[in-house]
């Protein structure tokens, strides 16, 4: 009995029949798809632009306006490229190296030259792209795995397969642009030598990456799916959508399901959301062009369009919030968001996206880019609303959230409260951390990634060792560290299984607040953190209130760092500085990278000295005072002043200051207020309001009710009252908190009361 007959005996007759009919059904589907794609592929281009777009763009470049200007600029750039010899070097370098960057510039040059061919019809542009593709067709079949390969996802042209996918996303569009200018023999050479081998390398030969729900998988599926449309390979399109086995365990659709929350928040954070948007929206645009019946932009209630708006919203002063493994220089003017905003505007005509396009100052030479240019020419843009908001995490929106609290104009005070899930391998161990921005600057900062992207001299442009030993560790962030150990012991797999719980988010006039907790970051410790951004118009003051309640069954060392941007000005307590010799703060979990500059032992039993204040000056010319309530119950409390840079032989880390409030206790509640104030003008040589206006703080807790009582130096008093009960989630209860015999009624979840007509404070 042969093996086939033996296997068939093992399969029940009904199962074999179902398998047979399933195979027949798949064949019928692919045949119908092939007929549809053949009809569509007969006309090129058929990915991000079509012939109607080309006709409209050809007309637009004959008329004055933003689109013609963009065309003229790009034409000059392309012509310069045509004057240079084509170079397709043997891959040798990692990110930032010469050969790496040359292959990157090649795919961009091919793309740009191809679109110029479509707009001008001049054969020289098609010839240039053809000749470069022929060189790749001669090179690629002989390539081994890249010599500087990354073990997790190796490439051939590039050190990692991710870059290979990016190359194909651009190159297949360039090929699509010149397809009709090629002979059948030329197409065969290019396809069999370069296009098909790269697509197979990214899919069949790299199944782990291709089927992965991750931004690497997104780029790979987009590249192969778009290639399927151009080469009329419907099976490739289906595999790109539903994984190599068509089992829907991976693929583009699974990525849409799992990587975005219902609010359009991307699991790895805004930096990678920006990066992943390029393949998401580009492939989706190709799907829309070729198979509009899929209604891809309507999928999950328009999740892709929602994600574009969310990405823009998660920025400040044009730069994305640097969460997780982020590079701080990336903003809304990156090519990924330029493409995203243009495609979204082409679909929905939202005039607020024109405001973003105006800030991006880049017009794409596509049909959607033409619509953007025409809208800007007619001055149809409307301001994009940078509002406060809660952006849920997790595919069902139940894995924590990122909270953005904004006050006033887009560059006014903004607080970012990160209570999200881990964010896969790019995530940091920073549960319930925060950042603060003001007057266009980062004030309380997040380190982002320890990486010099594409600078080969720094570890080949990849992540530095300090990304693991420092940037990912909890002490590198503005959140609670217990016993000098990072959340989840720094284990990604464990961290991905847990997330904070959001208790409430509320926005009122002049008051925005949110509360979240987590009890799984440490075995014995649970902590809950509540932030409020408060605008007090009577005082022309904006302050941030931070309440962090920690509970445990036994004593621990609690460290609460504040990583600030600026120069230390003053403290209201004495510091003992290390004058001639520095020591590290610890030996592991990021502490080994901190020099201990000074130490202060805070008052333990003096009820008249209950406020520890640190004031610094930011480059924006404004002072910031962080005032922390010091417990008077005998707990050992210190303020530690540190600078980053210890155990860093290659000087990879930025030298940044921080102060750390340290408490030894079982249960403790940290209460602090951040207050922007004053002005320093070195040009005109004047200083105003360099000292804090806050004189005292007290915290009151009565069951589920809590209050922070604030007294300013002029005697004016305010009370932030909060109802933490579950009842306040669904109702608007009227609550009363009793402070020293005085009852303060307040409504709903929270209320800022004041100025108060009372002398009661202590």
Instruction: Please count the CA atoms within 13 angstroms of the CA of 125 that sit on its side-chain side.
Output: 27
Whether residue 727 is contained in a domain is answered as no
Query: In angstroms, how far is the first alpha carbon of the chain from the final one?
Result: 93
Same domain, residue pair 290 and 214:
no
Same domain, residue pair 375 and 475:
no
| Token pair 């003051």: residue | 541
Write down the pLDDT at residue 755: 95
Angle at 600 between CA 599 and CA 604, to 5 degrees: 145
pLDDT single digits (tens) 734-751: 999 999 889 999 999 999
Whether residue 700 is contained in a domain is answered as no
Tokens of 226: 């778009």
Characterise 589 by phi-psi region: left (phi > 0), alpha (psi -120 to 50), beta (else). Answer: left
**What's the rounded Cα separation, in Å, for the pair 579 and 566?**
21
Q: What is the CA radius of gyration of the chain?
A: 29
| Token pair 């104030």: residue | 677
Write down the pLDDT at residue 455: 87
CATH number, domain of 639, equals 2.70.98.70
Write down the pLDDT at residue 374: 98
Instruction: Point out the domain boundary residue: 667, 692, 717.
Output: 692
Other C-beta atoms closer than 10 Å to the C-beta of 496 total 17
Write down the pLDDT at residue 6: 32
Q: Look at residues 703, 644, 710 and name the one whose alpha carbon lies nearest to residue 671.
A: 710
- Strands, E, within 466-586: which ranges? 481-482, 501-508, 511-518, 525-536, 541-552, 556-563, 567-571, 576-577, 583-584
Write down the pLDDT at residue 728: 77
**What's the rounded Cα separation, in Å, for the pair 419 and 390?**
10
Tokens of 707: 């209050």
CA 390 to chain centre: 15
**What's the rounded Cα separation, in Å, for the pair 263 and 392?**
6
Same domain, residue pair 406 and 528:
yes
Same domain, residue pair 229 and 280:
no
CATH number, domain of 348, equals 1.50.10.100
| Token pair 């500087």: residue | 148
Question: Which range of residues forms the domain containing residue 166?
Answer: 43-239
What is the DSSP-derived secondary structure letter of residue 110? H
Same domain, residue pair 132 and 220:
yes
Same domain, residue pair 217 and 75:
yes
Same domain, residue pair 211 and 143:
yes
Write down the pLDDT at residue 646: 98
Write down the pLDDT at residue 4: 36
What's the count of helices (H) and strands (E) in the chain, helices before strands?
21, 30
Whether residue 762 is contained in a domain is answered as no
Same domain, residue pair 504 and 603:
yes
Tokens of 242: 């539903």
Tokens of 730: 């669904």
Write down the pLDDT at residue 760: 54
Q: What is the DSSP string of 405-426?
A: EE-SSTTS-EEEEEEE---GGG
**Which residues of the chain have a pLDDT value below 70?**
1-42, 603-609, 634, 758-762
Characterise 715 by phi-psi region: left (phi > 0), alpha (psi -120 to 50), beta (else). Answer: left
Cβ neighbourhood burial of 68 (10 Å; 0-12, 13-18, 19+): middle
Q: Look at residues 304, 318, 390, 315 and name the one whose alpha carbon lies nearest to residue 346.
A: 304
According to DSSP, the residues that pair with 599 across neighbouring strands are 576, 640
Number of domains in the chain: 4
Tokens of 155: 């490439």
Same domain, residue pair 513 and 414:
yes
Whether residue 317 is contained in a domain is answered as yes
Write down the pLDDT at residue 604: 55
Contact by Cβ (8 Å): 594, 584: yes
Contact by Cβ (8 Å): 190, 175: yes
What is the DSSP-derived secondary structure letter of residue 42? T
Give φ, ψ of 24 to 5 degrees.
-65, -45
Write down the pLDDT at residue 748: 92
Q: 3-class DSSP state for residue 134? A: helix
Contact by Cβ (8 Å): 383, 367: no
Same domain, residue pair 541 and 581:
yes
Same domain, residue pair 346 and 399:
no
- CA distances from residue 340 to 154, 395, 575 in whole angstroms, order as listed: 28, 21, 51
Q: Look at residues 34, 485, 397, 95 and name the one whose alpha carbon lies nearest to residue 234.
A: 34
- Strands, E, within 24-87: which ranges? none
Whether residue 254 is contained in a domain is answered as no
For 654-658, the CB contacts below 8 A with 24+ separation are 654/447, 656/445, 656/447, 656/563, 656/565, 657/563, 657/564, 657/568, 657/597, 658/561, 658/562, 658/563, 658/564, 658/594
Whether residue 744 is contained in a domain is answered as no
Cβ neighbourhood burial of 507 (10 Å; 0-12, 13-18, 19+): middle
**What's the rounded Cα separation, in Å, for the pair 583 and 651?**
17
Contact by Cβ (8 Å): 565, 441: yes
Instruction: Point out the domain boundary residue: 204, 239, 274.
Output: 239
Q: Which residues contact 32 (CB under 8 A, 6 or more apart)?
A: none
Whether residue 107 is contained in a domain is answered as yes
Instruction: Point out the domain boundary residue: 653, 675, 692.
Output: 692
Cβ neighbourhood burial of 233 (10 Å; 0-12, 13-18, 19+): buried
Same domain, residue pair 147 and 294:
no
**What's the rounded Cα separation, in Å, for the pair 66 and 61?**
9
Whether residue 605 is contained in a domain is answered as yes
Active-site positions read 272, 426
**What's the rounded Cα separation, in Å, for the pair 311 and 572?**
41
Q: 3-class DSSP state for residue 586? A: coil
Q: What is the DSSP string of 288-341?
A: HHH-GGG-GGGHHHHHHHHHHHHHHHSEETTEE---SS--TT-BTTSHHHHHHH
- The residue count of the chain comes to 762
Contact by Cβ (8 Å): 296, 281: no
């Amino acid at each position: 009995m042969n093996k086939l007959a033996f296997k068939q005996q093992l399969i029940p007759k009904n199962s074999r029949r179902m398998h047979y009919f399933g195979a027949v059904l798949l064949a019928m589907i692919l045949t119908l798809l092939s007929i549809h794609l053949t009809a569509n592929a007969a006309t090129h281009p058929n990915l991000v632009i079509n012939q109607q777009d080309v006709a409209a763009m050809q007309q637009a470049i004959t008329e004055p306006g933003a689109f013609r200007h963009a065309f003229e600029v790009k034409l000059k750039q392309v012509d310069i490229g045509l004057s240079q010899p084509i170079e397709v070097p043997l891959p040798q370098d990692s990110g930032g190296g010469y050969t790496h960057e040359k292959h990157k510039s090649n795919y961009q040059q091919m793309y740009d030259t191809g679109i110029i061919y479509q707009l001008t019809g001049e054969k020289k542009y098609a010839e240039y792209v053809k000749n470069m593709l022929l060189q790749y067709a001669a090179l690629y079949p002989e390539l081994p795995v890249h010599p500087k390969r990354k073990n997790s996802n190796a490439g051939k042209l590039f050190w990692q397969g991710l870059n290979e996918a990016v190359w194909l996303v651009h190159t297949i569009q360039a090929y699509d642009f010149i397809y009709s200018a090629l002979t059948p023999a030329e197409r065969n050479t290019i396809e069999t030598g370069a296009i098909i081998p790269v697509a197979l390398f990214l899919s069949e030969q790299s199944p782990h990456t291709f089927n992965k729900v991750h931004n690497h998988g997104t780029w790979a599926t987009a590249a192969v799916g778009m290639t399927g449309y151009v080469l009329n390979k419907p099976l490739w399109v289906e595999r790109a959508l539903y994984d190599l086995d068509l089992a829907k365990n991976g693929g583009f659709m699974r990525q849409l399901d799992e990587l975005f929350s219902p609010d359009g928040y991307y699991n790895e954070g805004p930096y990678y959301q920006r990066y992943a948007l390029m393949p998401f929206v580009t492939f989706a645009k190709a799907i829309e062009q070729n198979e509009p019946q899929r209604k891809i932009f309507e999928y999950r209630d328009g999740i892709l369009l929602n994600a574009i708006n969310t990405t823009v919203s998660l920025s400040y002063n044009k730069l994305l919030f640097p969460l997780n493994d982020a590079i701080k220089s990336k903003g809304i003017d990156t090519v990924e968001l330029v493409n995203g905003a243009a495609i979204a505007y082409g679909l929905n005509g939202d005039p607020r996206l024109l405001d973003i396009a105006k800030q991006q100052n880049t017009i794409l030479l596509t049909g959607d880019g033409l619509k953007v240019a025409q809208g800007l020419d007619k001055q149809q843009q409307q301001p994009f609303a940078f509002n406060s908001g809660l952006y849920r995490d997790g595919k069902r929106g139940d894995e924590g959230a990122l909270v953005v609290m904004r006050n006033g104009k887009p560059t006014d005070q903004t607080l970012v409260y990160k209570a999200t899930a881990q964010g896969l391998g790019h995530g940091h161990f920073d549960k319930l951390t925060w950042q603060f921005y003001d007057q266009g600057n980062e004030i309380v900062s997040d380190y982002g990634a320890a990486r010099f992207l594409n600078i080969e001299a720094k570890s080949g442009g990849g992540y530095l060792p300090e990304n693991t030993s420092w940037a990912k560790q909890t002490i590198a962030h503005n959140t609670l560290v217990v016993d000098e150990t990072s959340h989840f012991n720094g284990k990604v797999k464990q961290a991905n299984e847990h997330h904070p719980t959001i208790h409430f988010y509320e926005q009122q006039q002049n008051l925005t607040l949110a509360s979240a907790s987590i009890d799984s970051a440490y075995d014995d410790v649970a902590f809950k953190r509540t932030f409020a951004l408060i605008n007090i118009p009577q005082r022309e003051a904006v302050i941030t209130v931070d309440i962090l309640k920690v509970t445990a069954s036994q004593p621990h060392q609690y460290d609460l760092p504040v990583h600030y941007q600026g120069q230390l000005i003053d403290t209201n307590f004495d510091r003992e500085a290390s004058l001639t010799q520095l020591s590290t703060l610890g030996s592991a979990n990021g502490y080994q990278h901190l020099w201990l500059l000074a130490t202060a032992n805070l008052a333990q039993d003096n009820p008249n000295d209950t406020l520890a204040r640190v004031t610094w000056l930011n480059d924006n010319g404004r002072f910031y005072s962080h005032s922390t309530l010091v417990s008077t119950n005998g707990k050992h409390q210190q303020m530690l002043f540190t600078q980053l840079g210890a155990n860093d032989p290659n000087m990879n880390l930025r030298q940044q200051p921080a102060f750390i409030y340290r408490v030894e206790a079982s249960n403790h509640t940290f209460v602090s207020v951040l207050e922007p104030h004053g002005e320093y003008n070195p040009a005109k040589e004047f200083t105003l309001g360099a000292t804090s206006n806050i004189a005292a703080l007290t915290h009151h807790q009565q069951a589920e009710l809590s209050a922070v009582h604030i007294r300013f130096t002029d005697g004016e008093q305010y009370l932030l009252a909060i109802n933490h009960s579950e009842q306040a989630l669904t109702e608007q209860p009227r609550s009363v908190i009793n402070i020293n015999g005085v009852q303060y009624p307040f409504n709903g979840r929270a209320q800022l009361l004041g100025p108060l007509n009372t002398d009661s404070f202590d």
